[in-house]
Amino acid sequence: MSTLLYLIQKEFIQIRRNSFLPKLIFGFPIVIMCVMPWVMNMEIKNVVVEVVDNDHSQLSSQLIQKIRHSNYFVFAGTKPSYDTALKDIEHSKADVVLVIPQGYEKNGEQVMIAANAVNGTKGAMGSAYLTQIVNSTNASQSATCSTAKTQKLSLGCKLQTLYLYNKNLNYKVFMIPALFAVVIMLMCGFLPTLNIVSEKEAGTIEQINVTPVKKWQFIIAKIIPYWLIAFFIVSVCLVLSWAIYGIVCKGSIWLIYLLVMLLALVFSSFGLIVSNYSDNMQQAIFVMWFFVVILLLLSGLFTPTRSMPDWAYMSTYINPMHYFIDAMRTVFVRGGGLANVSTQISALAIIGCLMAFWAVGSYKKNA
């Protein structure tokens, strides 16, 4: 036992002595929490709309007024023809073009929306919003001159939506728990990876290998410091998300800490596995980076896992990041309790233990 303590003490001294690591451990979470929520914002704002009005009627100008006053759109003016408007799209001066056909007011002709869909989300949401505006304009028009269409539409007017957990549809509420995951993953994944490889390159690992240190002692001594670092980082993140964005954890803080500890175990073990198999730093970093990107993209951090095709969805069953993000959002945003996240916690614990065993097993003291 005391051997373990000496090894842990050594790890801490080495981290503290390093000219770069302490700054990184303090600075990184702070910078990430201060900058990233502003960046990782997929809220669609300031969609630039141009209108081609071929109707020049009261209704069409009413529609244009509505667009002009919407917070959602930036109105870039009316254009004489669809072609000129299209040119603006090509020059990225506009995102969406609304074409109001002749006879829009009188005959109820269909309007046309053309959206730049290179960014699919932006195109879809921009046109959806615009459609809503068009629909409501049409509805108010229909209400005055009653036509057969009204009956169905009246239903629409009474429809209400209740947004749970995030009334203001604040994108930061969605992203901040995910950022916790990213920070933990980067810090607890990459630092241990570099750690063993640098011992290999310095030759000190050989010295350890001829001592009676047990394999598990060596590995545990490498993992524990990163556990504490994870603990520290998550505390900083929690405080910052409250101080800067006013976003607080709805569920139990202790559950968050439990989850973070498990994730730190998974990734620090994973980092050690990678470094056990690598010969030099470049290799270790590249391999690590490869897995990190894939795990992140398939975790549901940015896009819902349910939208994935089956093969990709299957992979989420073994993706620790997926369990973590799922559980994190449940606890942090939805205010779920232990019962709501028990599956994720046990999955993370199992993956973490497997990883730790693998890390011990792949460390060779006697080849």
Using CB under 8 A as the binding rule, the residues of this chain from 72 to 111 that contact another protein are 86, 89-92, 108, 110-111
Closer residue to another protein, CB minimum distance, 4 or 353: 4
How far apart, in whole angstroms, are the C-alpha atoms of residue 268 and residue 210?
24
DSSP string, 48-61: EEEEEESS-SHHHH
Closer residue to another protein, CB minimum distance, 281 or 350: 281
Amino acid present at 351: I
Q: Using the rule CB under 8 A, which residue among 26, 34, 43, 354 binds another protein?
A: 43
Per CB under 8 A, 61 contacts another protein: no
Amino acid present at 258: L
Closer residue to another protein, CB minimum distance, 24 or 353: 24
Q: Using the rule CB under 8 A, which residue among 46, 62, 84, 107 binds another protein?
A: 46
Least CB distance from residue 80 to another protein, whole Å?
Answer: 19
Q: In this structure, what token pair is assigned to residue 171?
A: 């994108």
How far apart, in whole angstroms, are the C-alpha atoms of residue 311 and residue 330?
25
Least CB distance from residue 287 to another protein, whole Å?
Answer: 6
**Region of 108 on the Ramachandran plot (φ > 0 left; ψ -120 to 50 alpha; else beta):** left
Closer residue to another protein, CB minimum distance, 18 or 61: 18
Per CB under 8 A, 13 contacts another protein: yes
Phi, psi of 97 (to 5 degrees): -120, 130
Contact of 97 with 50, CB cutoff 8 Å? yes
Q: Using the rule CB under 8 A, which residue among 238, 298, 347, 351 binds another protein?
A: 298
Question: What is the widest separation between alpha-carbon atoms in the chain?
Answer: 92
Closer residue to another protein, CB minimum distance, 44 or 272: 44
Per CB under 8 A, 334 contacts another protein: yes
Sequence-distant (6+) residues with CB within 8 A of 164 are 334
Per CB under 8 A, 66 contacts another protein: no
Residues in region 109-168 near another protein by CB under 8 A: 110-125, 127-128, 130-132, 134-135, 138, 149, 152-156, 158-167
Beta bridge partners of 98: 51, 113
Per CB under 8 A, 283 contacts another protein: yes
Q: In this structure, what token pair is assigned to residue 33?
A: 């929490």
Q: Using the rule CB under 8 A, which residue among 33, 40, 184, 249 binds another protein?
A: 40
Number of residues that bind another protein (CB under 8 A): 122
How far apart, in whole angstroms, are the C-alpha atoms of residue 197 and residue 102?
71
Stretch 183-222: interaction string toward another protein, x if CB under 8 A = -----------x---x---xxx-xxxxxxxxx--------
Contact of 99 with 54, CB cutoff 8 Å? yes
